[in-house]
A and B are shown apart, each in its own frame.
Chain A
Amino acid sequence: MSLVIGILCPEDGKRRDLALLAGESGYLAHPASRLDEALEVLRERRPSLMLVTDGPDQDAEVLVREIAAVSPLVPVVVALGKRDAGRAVALMRLGVCEVVAPPWTREDLGACLGKTLRTHGTAFSIVPLKGPLPSGTLYTLVVSLFFALAIGHVALQRQAQLRSAAYEEKKTWDLPYRYPTAASFNGPELWVLDWFTQSIFVHPAKDLEVARVTYFPGELPVAFSVASDALWAVTPGGKVCRRMKDDKLRLLQEFPGAAPDSVAIVFDGLYLWTANAKTKTLRKHLNDYKLTALGTWRYPGDRPAALVFDGRFLWSLDAGSRELLCHNLERPDEVLRRVPLPEYRDGVYRPVGLAWDGEKFWTVADSAPAGKVPARVFRHSLSQR
């Protein structure tokens, strides 16, 4: 739909020309030869703007005032009969939106009319105007940014690789305590029980820093194992406890006397396994209200210290021979594989705890004699043996 404009021009020829040019520019022109006709156009047609000529036979200043008195919000464009910059600026100061210089062309008129409908004021500022960045500077900035990002990305990747390689190379960590008794993985965290401080130390596997320390409530166990839903612990008196894996290790269930003289405990998801150090036996318990023993087998090693279930097999840490034993789940007295631990060959450390992170075995050791040096964690790669 075309925008409606009014044209006020006393000369027939010029009025016709202006109406034609406005029509060619896409406007619907309503011409008027006199002021009263123009005011009628203003009232009847409601034009978007008024185009007024200025010359010896018509003073645009007077017309602009008259139009403003009737329709103060209607923008006015003046078509000068004679090019005069001073006159044009004087008219614009009166409130004229645009002034078209002669000769009137379709391009000029169309541009002026279009501009009038999108006019804005002047922004005043006392700070220097901010122009857009020169294209050369912008290009240099973009290229520099690209290279900086690329170099940064490569450097970060390299750093990550080096960190990963350093982590892979590192296989031992000294711990800030000296009397560990058991260890188990809870997701990505290694939990280690220290009997001297009666606390569980939680270490992130990535650096083995101490993430938090939880005082163990109740009777201190000799062994514990973190299962998917709870923590299982066994005390020197043979009492088995099931606790929540929260910060307070709240007690869920107790089984007094369920596993006497046990030094290791693990839950394989279905059955609970314990190792008796005195009788050198492995026991399999049903997960019922009294942990009924389903069977007892001779331990096929020297001195069991810890048990771990890797998802397929039951593994035990033989502290006597310093080996890892892989047991047949159906007949645990049958050893499927023996893995020696050369880290303990010099006798400085004694393995006391065993944990499985889903890929590798970790052992926790105290010194021989106990407490002489800080406890140590070893990470074992069985595939290399």
Chain B
Amino acid sequence: MRRSPNPVPAVLSFPEEAARRDCWGKLAELAPSGAKLSTRFVIERGALLFVSLRLGHEDFERIAASVTKVATDREGYRVADLAFTDEIQKRRLAKALLDILAT
């Protein structure tokens, strides 16, 4: 495991039926299987959302994820556990993370 000096920001978008505007957050942890997200916006457990982020020079658009757990930290930020659901995106993410961890 390696920690970046600054947290990776991410745009959070939602399915159309959720009728929600995009919001943003930062990733405290990131793995091919999922991520831990910290955001000031309201996130519900069980919600489906899409995460867009940049790793190095590679952009990842709308990684499908489901919210498996939500907690609130001392500042009132929601800390959500995200499970990525798209296998192709997970593999692509794994490759990018391997490259980062290998350097």
Interface residues of A (CB under 8 A from B): 83, 85-86, 88-89, 92-93, 95, 99, 101, 107-108, 111-112, 114-115, 118-129, 131
> How far in angstroms is the closest Cβ of chain A from B44?
17
Residue of A nearest to B1 (CB): A125
B22 touches A86 (CB 8 A): yes
Additional A-B contact list (19), CB under 8 Å, known A85-B21, A112-B40, A122-B29: A88-B24, A89-B10, A89-B11, A93-B54, A114-B74, A118-B75, A121-B3, A121-B4, A123-B1, A123-B28, A124-B2, A124-B3, A125-B1, A125-B29, A128-B34, A129-B31, A129-B33, A129-B34, A131-B81
| Given A114-B75, A120-B7: A85 and B24 interface contact (C-beta under 8 Å) | yes
- CB of A123 within 8 A of CB of B29, answer yes
How many contacts between A and B, using CB within 8 angstroms?
A: 103
CB contact under 8 A between A124 and B4, given known A86-B11, A88-B24, A129-B33: yes
User: Which A-chain residue is minimally distant from B82 (CB atoms)?
Assistant: A129
B4 in complex: contacting residue of A118, A122, A128, A131, CB < 8 Å: A122
The 5 A-B pairs at the shortest CB distance, nearest first, are namely: A92-B9, A85-B22, A121-B4, A128-B33, A111-B75
Say yes or no: A121 contacts B97, CB within 8 Å: no
9 intermolecular pairs with C-beta atoms under 8 Å apart: A85-B22, A85-B24, A95-B6, A114-B75, A121-B7, A123-B29, A123-B30, A125-B101, A128-B31
Q: How far is the CA of A111 from the CA of B97 in the complex (A)?
A: 30
The reply to whether A125 and B75 contact each other, CB–CB distance below 8 Å, is no
Which residues of chain A are within 8 angstroms of B81 by Cβ–Cβ distance?
Answer: 129, 131
**Complex CA–CA separation, A111 to B100 (angstroms):** 31
* Interface assignment of B62: CB less than 8 Å from any CB of chain A: no
Q: Pick the contact of A92: B26, B52, B94 (CB < 8 A).
A: B26
- The interface residues of chain A lying within 8 Å CB-to-CB of B75 are 111, 114-115, 118
